[in-house]
Structure 1
């Protein structure tokens, strides 16, 4: 309605200004405005600064579908009020009905419908009927003869639209605007109060030829699919209509930092005599958002077993959509997207413990703008929280360990100068890839304390002699006596006197190799209750692979290989039968000569266990 009222020879107040002044006066309710017109019209005049206002009510706005056809109904009633007196100056009412979904026989209607289809414009049928209703209503306003003459000289706009709306435009993206109307005119567009006088220029001859071909093809396809005949007379009429009109095009390129939502574009077409007509596109509302979210701050991490919990400060942008967490192997390069999420917290899981990585976070909004990255932070998943806060002794070790400590690869190799004894209340944590070298006669004793060996398949934790010749019996070995928590994962104990002695302890041992011991690979004494899986005892001398003696012994050993241990793979002096079934004994069919004592070794594995939990 505003388009047609504003084209009349009156001074009008722009829609944006009208809405702003009413809002500032607290008049956002239609009933309140109508009461003011009836009771105090001069106050409304002072608010808006106009002599008259037009109010209206939509009476019809619907589309009824029947098969492939539909009926569109658009209706409105309007009143014009004198704000000096409150009297009614003019009223009108009109309803327009039309059928859609069929084939138009009107050349102009066919042409505009085809253009709308080619440009992927939506809602054009309803908009066309709305435009016709308001044009009919506005035509009933009586004008003086001089004004009627002016109206007759106005140029004509057939179609105007933003042809690529649908989602917010971001920095560098073009807002494309097109207008079809009279030839030999000047055209420009305002985007509300945001940008004005965006020039529209006629398409080049090549582009116009391409558009013409697309439009004609669209019309022909529409007729072909409907089974109707497109006559030569109608084709010529359509071509004449196209030739009589100009297609104007303009582009506004969004600049970084710009942001404005809900823009309605308004086009102006001015002919050579200076007469001007306007058109608005209320269907294709334009949203511009080239303002990225602020840089994320306050990134912190919490190290847990095979995962890291991240938190950061919440961004406050109204159009915030979420965050991206990026992770890489180094602080400055190699980052890849780890996860995208809505909340300001993330869990990065399936990590290798002790393997460092780096993360940074950025926010993104509903328009797809990405903010700056946060400062990177180093993350390390750990089998126990706060492990990285522990003291890190070395590289020389020896004496009593009375408080928990962490041995790390960056300080490796460590050298044990004297017996290293872990006392009650202390835990010795050993990270992947650590190598501990022992001087002759020294050993590692977990005496009432705890030990956690966190090796990995490609980063074993090695317990070895310091001597270059590396002969069996070069150092004392590892003793677990009255230990609390004891875990060995991917460890290698080599060339000790006795590889591992267990007394009154229940260690968990997996993927660990004990080899080259001069007295025995594994010595189980009173109340030894180890759980051993996927491990290897090989080439151990003296008493062989494993010696068992004492009371209360209850080992659980499965999927473990005993290979080339002499004189026996296992010797047992325990008063009970040991269950050592489902292990590999170095050959496909072992004999009883590999064992001494009460040992149940059948059934056995015919080959080394494969995969074994990896």
Structure 2
């Protein structure tokens, strides 16, 4: 063979190789031409149906899945719904089907009877393979379907598999719209949609359909798209719609219950439009149907396989029962009533007393825990709004809370006039100070009383505060002698006999309390109260009167100017006192007639009393 023949042969071989690997270029990205094969394992009508036996009203049930691809049944069902929607059937939409078969337990015959359909198309995805090599995507998708009548007869069946190989992404106008639509679907494998579309198209050609009008051929619609899958729309949003089909026609997209919209042909056979959402639109799961109208007025229609549209232009209901469960320096727990509306999220805003604003988004819950740290006794202004799936917001529900060192559930902030009895967890706050007590006021055994720093309580002549439950007075938060809670008479001309009565077996911790001009400052009848940083000035009788079986610990105190001893003990009461100064008290600093000695450490007595202690005392060094 001479050189000329060899060169010609080599050139021919190279030409064949290039032709076999042909690549088309559309837009700016190379797109390999898809290679598809269709396999019919079995196909056709069972026992050859007569025309009158072909069902007129059909529905498509949820498809089963024998593969690992969770999206395959949903996508293929939507594709079948789309392709069969322009056949001669009366097709019941899948959203109506699922309402009758919520838990997917009805047989095809039962479902047909429940829907009033002649037959139901049911089946399962039997095969799915996905393999990527370079720019190529290899998709194999198989399905087994059967058409079951309302009497339980199998009218038709098919087992079909498609193998698709494609690569690249189109940047043509239609390709961009398709990419946006598929992105909204959140498919893990975007090539699944193309394979399902090809498979659904072939199945729709095979299924027997009722006879239609024998006129001119209707326009052809290949696909109806929108970019609104898995999206809630409201006023101000926009939706892009598209139809691909025969060129030169009038293209319309109809959104169920909301209206029809004309599309513009931007390329031969490619029609698109972007529509703005009207503020009056309200509806969930609205079907999108594309239509092409030819010059003779013939209309072809096809349902979009890209899902249903959702519109919500109504504000959600305000959040009810917005409550602070507890508020500590480490965490704050909030709760509210569950909304009657589905899929509700919440936007929580809170502002600290320093003016700092913070926002937290909460997904479909009825409580939240905000992590600290928070400052002791700072006041937080909290607001919450319900936010629906379309991002509509309710009006704000607001609440205030104060941060406490310990965890208390649902603290009630009391008004400034105290009277009667209290049974809950209650707080006296600096905001509502001063508080007025005009009568014997009790905090019952079931109660807890919290008093914040800076609170002032004023007593009328007949006023008295009695603690039968738990109590925490937080007048100071350090070991220094500071006193920020003040008890005093409303009028020096009408002094109260007693300020505070402790008659509780619960926890009583009093810190940072000043008693100005009391009759008896604190009358302790029972329990084990702990007093820290207590200052008493000019008690008409005594600063502390301890009786019964009370067992008292007091430290870092200043007891000044009591007329009948600063501390008086009787009965079987006990006292441990440390780091205290007692001065200007008469006739004694401590008068103890109890059976037990006073245990004292680092206590300073001035020389004003005729005797420091009357009764038993043990001094620890």
TM-score by length of 1: 0.54
Equivalent in 466, 471, 478 of residue 491 of structure 2: 466
- Counterpart for residue 165 of structure 2: 99
Residue 163 of structure 1 pairs with residue 241 of structure 2: no
CA deviation after TM superposition for structure 1 residue 556, in Å = 3.6
Give the aligned partner of residue 286 of structure 1. 309
Listed one character per residue, the Cα deviations across residues 520-550 of structure 1 (whole Å, up to 9, x for unaligned) are: 8645566573534565315547798x55665
Structure 1 residue 163 displacement after superposition = 1.7
Distance in 1 (alpha carbons) for counterparts of 2:467 and 2:119 = 89
Residue in 1 that maps onto 2:191: 125
Structure 2 distance, partners of 1:138, 1:386, is 68
Name the CA distance, whole Å, in 2 between partners of 1:422 and 1:600. 38
Distance 1:120 1:445 in 2: 74
The aligned residue for residue 619 of structure 2 is: 600
**Contact 2:281/2:313, CA 8 A, preserved across alignment:** yes
CA distance in 2, matches of 1:435, 1:527: 27
- Aligned equivalent of 1:493: 515
Q: Does 1:194 align with 2:257?
A: yes
| Alignment pair present for 1:578 and 2:603 | no
CA separation of 1:539/1:367 partners in 2, compared to 1, >3 Å: closer, same or farther? same
CA distance in 2, matches of 1:384, 1:139: 67
Q: Does 1:178 align with 2:196?
A: no
Residues 1:202 and 1:578: Cα distance change in structure 2 (over 3 Å): farther
CA pair 423-96 structure 1, distance change in 2 beyond 3 A: closer
Distance 1:7 1:430 in 2: 73
Matched-pair contact (CA < 8 Å) for 2:583–2:589: no
Does structure 1 retain, via aligned residues, the 8 Å contact 2:250–2:292?
yes
> C-alpha distance in 2, partners of 1:15/1:508?
76
Q: What is the CA-CA distance between 1:454 and the residue it aligns to? A: 7.1
Distance 1:270 1:124, change over 3 A: farther
> CA shift at 1:387, angstroms?
11
Whether 1:71 and 2:139 are equivalent positions in the alignment is yes
> Is the Cα–Cα contact under 8 Å of residues 465 and 496 in structure 1 kept in the other structure?
no
Instruction: Check if 1:266 corresponds to 2:289.
Output: yes
In structure 2, C-alpha distance between the alignment counterparts of 1:527 and 1:467, rounded to whole Å = 31
Name the SS of the counterpart of 2:109 in structure 1.
Answer: helix
Residues 372-419 of structure 1, C-alpha deviations (whole Å, 9 max, x = no match): 678x899999999999799956xxxxxxxxx75899997967598xxx
Q: Secondary structure of the residue that 2:90 maps to in structure 1?
A: coil
Q: Which runs of 5+ in 1 are unaligned?
A: 37-43, 204-242, 394-402, 469-473, 587-593, 603-614
Change (3 A) 1:172 1:516: same
- Does the Cα contact within 8 Å between 1:254 and 1:288 map onto a contact in 2? no
Q: Could you say what secondary structure the match of 1:132 adopts?
A: helix
* 2:575 match: 555
Task: Name the structure where strand makes up a greater proportion of residues.
Answer: 2
Contact preservation (8 Å) 1:480, 1:505: no
**What secondary structure is seen at the aligned counterpart in 2 of 1:466?**
coil
Alpha-carbon distance in 1 for matches of 2:474, 2:245: 75
- Indicate the SS of the match to 1:166: coil
Any idea what the Cα deviations from partners look like across 1:472-515, whole Å, max 9, x if unmatched?
A: xx96864889956796565321245775565x544735456323
| Paired residues of 2:515 and 2:521 also in contact (CA < 8 A) | yes
Cα shift readout 1:219-275 (whole Å, capped 9, x = no counterpart): xxxxxxxxxxxxxxxxxxxxxxxx7664613325154561222x4422224466767
- Contact 1:93–1:137 (8 Å) recurs in 2: no
Q: Match of 2:229, SS? A: coil
Q: Following TM superposition, by how much is the alpha carbon of 1:338 offset from its aligned partner in structure 2, in angstroms?
A: 9.9
* Distance (whole Å) between structure 2 residues aligned to residue 148 and residue 127 of structure 1: 33
After superposition, the C-alpha distances for 1:550-571 in whole angstroms (9 at most, x for unaligned) are 563411446x653766799965
SS at match of 1:284: coil
Q: Is the 8 A contact 2:416 2:434 kept in 1?
A: no
Match of 1:62 among 86, 105, 127: 127
Provide Cα deviations, 1:264-299, integer angstroms capped at 9, x if missing partner: 4222244667676544432433333445555677x6
SS in structure 1 of the partner of residue 241 of structure 2: strand
Report the 3-state secondary structure (helix = DSSP H, G, I; strand = E; otherwise coil) of the residue aligned with 1:194.
coil
Is this contact kept in 1: 2:500–2:521, CA < 8 A? Answer: no
Could you tell me whether the CA contact under 8 Å between 1:75 and 1:96 is conserved in 2? no
CA distance in 2, matches of 1:6, 1:571: 98
Contact kept in structure 2, 1:537 and 1:565, CA below 8 Å:
no
Conserved in 2, the CA contact under 8 Å of 1:464 and 1:496?
yes
Deviation at 1:98, TM superposition (A): 1.8
**Distance (whole Å) between structure 2 residues aligned to residue 338 and residue 109 of structure 1:** 39
When residues 584 and 325 of structure 1 are mapped into structure 2, their CA distance, relative to the original with a 3 A threshold, is: farther
More helix by share: 1
1:248 to 238, 259, 272: 272
Structure 1 residues 305 and 505: CA distance shift in structure 2, 3 A: farther
Alpha-carbon contact 2:468-2:502 (below 8 Å) kept: no
Cα distance in 2 for residues equivalent to 1:408 and 1:114: 64
DSSP 3-state at the match of 2:550 = coil
Q: TM-score, normalised by structure 2?
A: 0.53
| Aligned residue number for residue 109 of structure 2 | 31
| Preserved contact between residue 454 and residue 461 of structure 1 (Cα < 8 Å) | no
Native 8 Å contact 2:108 2:121 kept in 1: no
Structure 2's unaligned 5+ residue stretches are 1-79, 101-105, 477-483, 606-610
Deviations for 1:33-81, whole angstroms, at most 9, x for unmatched residues?
A: 9999xxxxxxx9xx88xxxx89766575532135655432245678899
Q: Relative to 1, partners in 2 of residues 1:573 and 1:54: Cα closer, same or farther, differing over 3 Å?
A: closer
8 Å CA contact 2:122–2:147 kept in 1: the answer is no
